[in-house]
Amino acid sequence: MMSSVSERFLTYIKHHTTSEDDALSFPSTKIQLDFAQFLAEECRSIGLQKVSVDQYGYVTATLPGNEPSAPVIGFIAHMDTSPDASGENIQPNIVKNYNGNDIPLKEGVLSPAEFPFLKNYIGQTLITTDGTTLLGADDKAGIAEILTAMEYLIAHPEIPHGDIRIAFTPDEEVGRGVDFFDVASFNADFAYTLDGGRIGELEYENFNAARALVKIHGKNVHPGYAKNIMVNAALIGAEIAALLPADEIPAKTEDYKGFFHLCSFEGTTTYAELDYIIRDFDKASFENRKALIQSIVDKKNAEHHNCIELELTDQYYNMISQIEPHMEIVDLAKQAMLDCGITPLIRPIRGGTDGARLSFMDLPCPNLFAGGHNFHSNFEFVPVESMEKAVEMIIRIAELATSLDFQKSM
C-alpha cells in the first residue's frame, strides 16, 4: 500500500537531524548518517534502483524511465534541520479543518494576527509544532514529497517519464550541503530542489552570500588603573556594529534588498567575536557590502593598534547566471504547476539552497516549493494540501519533460 505524503512526513520528523555550525566532520552530525541509512532503506522498499549512501552521507537513487529519449531529471532535498532551533523530540500538532483562529501551542500561539498568511489555509489540515521545537518541514516535507511521487510513478507505469535521479543531502542548513556532491556520478541533465516555502514558489534567483567573522583581541587590567592601557574588546565590537547601516538588517528589508545580519555577538573585555552573514542579489552591491565591513575593521584597527581580525568568506552566489541559459526548465516547472491548478509564484529566494551551488557545478537547479512556513522557528507549520500538490507537481514535471529538448551549454 502506498503511503500518503503526510504519513511519510510525520515519520521523518521523528528523526533528529540537526546540523552543526563549524563542525570539523562531514556531515557535521552523526545523526544525519543514521537518517540517511533509514531513507536508503525507504528508497529500496518502494522499488527505486541504484540506491546508495556514500561516505559523506549523500543518499542517491534512480527511477528508470520508460521514455529513453527524455532528459534525466534530478529531484533533491536536504536531510538536516537548522541549528537555529531545536529539532529534537518534535511533537507535531495536527489541526484539521483550520478555522482561521489562533492555534494554541504548548509554548506560544500561532496567530493570524502575527502570521496573516494562515488565513490562506482555512478549511485545510495544518501540521504545526507544539511551540517547543521547529517542525522540520525544511526540508523533510521535500523528502516526503519526492519519495511519495516516486512511489506513485512506480505504481503507474503508464505515465511516461525519463530516468529520474533523486538525492538527499546533509548539512544544507550550515552551507555545506554540496561540498562533496558528485555531480558527474549523479548524472542528471538538470534538477530541482524541493526546498521552497509556500505553495507555488518557483525560484531561480538567490542571494550572493558571505560570512564575516570579526575577532577582537582586547587587553584587560584593573579598571581602577586602566587609563590609556585597557582595550575593551566588547566595546570595540559594539562600535563596529554601530557603524553598519541600521536599516540594512533582515527585520527591515524585503524583496531584492540585501542586508548585514549579526548572527551572534559574544564578548568580554579580553576577547569579543561578531559573526555576520552578508547577503545581496546584485553582485556589485554584494562586493560593496564586503568592502564596507572591511573598511570599518580597517578604521577600528587604526584606532586600536591592529587588535582586530576579519575572516571574510564567500559562501554561494546568485544562481540566475547559470539558469538563464536554460529557462526552459523554469518554464517546465511553471507549466506543471498550472496543469496541477497551482498559481506559480516566481520570486527570488531570500536565502540559499543546495541548488544555488549545484547550478555553478554544471547542474542547473531551480528551487520549488515544499509547502512550509516559518522555517527555522518554533512556529513552523505546513499545510497537508500543499504537500499533496507538490507531489502532483513532481509527477507532472516528470511527464512533461518527455517532450523537452534540453541541451546543456558547452
pLDDT digits (tens, 9 = 90+) for 268-294: 999 999 999 999 999 999 999 999 999
Which residues are part of the catalytic machinery?
Answer: 80, 172
With a cut of 60, say whether residue 410 has pLDDT above it.
Answer: no
Give 351's pLDDT tier (boundaries 50, 70, 90). confident
Share of the chain above pLDDT 90, in %: 94
Which CA distances in Å does 202 have to 188, 299, 328, 331, 332?
Answer: 20, 42, 13, 10, 11
With a cut of 50, say whether residue 76 has pLDDT above it.
Answer: yes
Give residue 165's pLDDT: 98
Domain range summary for the chain, segments of one domain joined by +: 5-205+318-403, 208-316
Please state, in angstroms and rounded to a whole number, the distance separating the CA atoms of residues 312 and 289: 11
Kind and range of the H or E element at 388?
helix 384-400
- Per-chain mean pLDDT for the chain: 95
With a cut of 60, say whether residue 2 has pLDDT above it.
Answer: no
CATH 3.40.50.620 assigned to domain 5-205+318-403? The reply is no
pLDDT digits (tens, 9 = 90+) for 32-60: 999 999 999 999 999 999 999 999 999 99
With a cut of 50, say whether residue 244 has pLDDT above it.
Answer: yes
With a cut of 80, say whether residue 364 has pLDDT above it.
Answer: yes
In whole angstroms, how large is the CA radius of gyration of the chain? 23
Q: Is-above-0.95 flag for pTM?
A: no
β-strands 93-95, 126-128 pairing: antiparallel
Give 352's pLDDT tier (boundaries 50, 70, 90). confident
pLDDT digits (tens, 9 = 90+) for 372-404: 999 999 999 999 999 999 999 999 999 999 998
With a cut of 70, say whether residue 248 has pLDDT above it.
Answer: yes
Give residue 408's pLDDT: 62
β-strands 164-169, 59-63 pairing: antiparallel
pLDDT digits (tens, 9 = 90+) for 88-144: 999 999 999 999 999 999 999 999 999 999 999 999 999 999 999 999 999 999 999
Region of poorest pLDDT, from 93-107, 162-176, 190-204, 341-355: 341-355
Give 1's pLDDT tier (boundaries 50, 70, 90). very low
Please state, in angstroms and rounded to a whole number, the distance separating the CA atoms of residues 403 and 71: 9
Mean pLDDT of 160-179: 95
> 334: closest CA among 178, 156, 164, 201?
201
- Classify domain 208-316 by CATH architecture: 2-Layer Sandwich (3.30)
Q: What secondary structure letter does DSSP report for 142?
A: H
Strand, coil or helix: what is 218? coil
Give residue 405's pLDDT: 78
β-strands 345-346, 201-203 pairing: parallel
